[in-house]
Amino acid sequence: MKPKIVYGMAGCLFAGLAQGAAGDLLSGYRSAGAGVFSPEAGAAAWVQEYPSAGGAGRSCAGCHGSDPRQPGRHIETGKPIEPMARSVNPDRLTDPAKVEKWFRRNCRWTLGRECTPQEKGDFYQFLISQ
């Protein structure tokens, strides 16, 4: 088989798998009561500052940066964080268990509560559109 065809098939397969995982996540959020997902709402929530007990505002952008295509830094430890944008890192947001784990931790820390399925879906659509 010609290499181009093989690469094309591999690409389609990967995209298909990613879609499959996406399908699991998004349909999970929809069945939990979410409506139409909006990348714009996700973008706005990404930079929104939430109050914290210590006084300093917390936001997703605080660690991940306001541009998901750029690498971030953990705000406390300084550890580099790979870009969240699907265009930079194709395997971002493809593992539902990993997505849920980080949503649970990071929403609780940033927002002070779990993210609603609507918010999660909005974040998801925002990040894969970047």
Partner 1 sequence: MKKTVILIVTGILAIAFIGTVLSASERGEREDEEYSENTYAPDIFGYGPPRSVWPGPRADVRPVADATYANECGACHFAYQPGLLSAQAWSRIMDTLSVHYGDDASLEAPQAEAIRRYLLDNAADRASESRSRAFAAGPAAGNALPRITATNYFRREHYEIPARFVEGNKEVRSFSNCQACHRTAETGVYNEHLVMIPGVGRWDD
Judged by CB under 8 A, which of 1, 55, 78, 113 binds partner 1? 78
104 touches partner 1 by CB under 8 A:
yes
80 touches partner 1 by CB under 8 A:
no
Rounded to 5°, the CA angle 42-106-53 comes to 105
Closer CB to partner 1, residue 41 or residue 81?
Answer: 81
How many residues bind partner 1, per CB under 8 A?
12
101 touches partner 1 by CB under 8 A:
yes
Q: How far apart are CA 116 and CA 79, in angstroms?
A: 28
113 touches partner 1 by CB under 8 A:
no
105 touches partner 1 by CB under 8 A:
yes
Closer CB to partner 1, residue 89 or residue 106?
Answer: 106
Closer CB to partner 1, residue 69 or residue 101?
Answer: 101
Closer CB to partner 1, residue 64 or residue 125?
Answer: 64
Task: State how beta strands 72-73 and 80-81 pair.
Answer: antiparallel
Q: Is 16 exposed, middle or buried (0-12, 13-18, 19+ CB in 10 A)?
A: exposed
Q: How far apart are CA 91 and CA 78, in angstroms?
A: 23
User: What are the distances in angstroms from CA 85 to CA 6, 31, 67, 107, 128?
Assistant: 26, 25, 9, 18, 6
What is the binding site for partner 1 (CB under 8 A)? 54, 74, 76-79, 101, 104-106, 108-109
